[in-house]
Amino acid sequence: RTPAYSRVLETLADEFDSETEADFETVLESIADMDTDDWLNEVAVSLLVAAKHEQLLYDISHWGEDAGVASKATFSRTKTRLEDQGLLETEKVPIDVGRPRLRLLLGDERLREADAEELASVANEMLSVAPA
């Protein structure tokens, strides 16, 4: 039931922009030869790239569910795990009606300074030294 890679990239570019799509593709390619203990999967990459572009959690998780990447609940659990480990931060963004949305932000200066090619390796390095 996994969606085609080309479909994931196409819908990402449609939903956000080509820069977000290019960064997602770059980060995914950079983890191919990396030992990440499986924590750095498509959902975590989506969230990190979304944070790099200061996207809303609602938007990226909605895209991920529609594209068949993962459920909104999986995005939420992964966001919480990355937040607990200092990789992500969120800020509330008020909307007209309902609960505020959460804007994703990179949680560490090293991540904010990293380009797309370095994002996964910096995140993986941070996690390898973080307390479990």
Q: Tell me phi and psi for residue 93, to 5 degrees.
A: -120, 110
Show the domains of the chain with their CATH numbers.
5-129 (1.10.10.10)
Chain centroid offset of residue 72 CA: 13
Query: Which residue blocks in the chain are alpha helix, DSSP H?
Result: 5-15, 18-30, 42-52, 57-67, 72-84, 109-113, 116-129
User: What are the per-10-residue average pLDDT scores of the chain (132 residues)?
Assistant: 81 92 91 77 93 96 93 96 95 90 96 93 81 52
What pLDDT is recorded for position 32?
Answer: 80
Q: Which two tokens stand for residue 5?
A: 């890679």
Residue 4 Cα distances to 61, 113, 132, angstroms: 18, 31, 34
Question: What predicted TM-score, i.e. pTM, was given to this entire model?
Answer: 0.91
Distance CA 123, CA 117 (A): 11
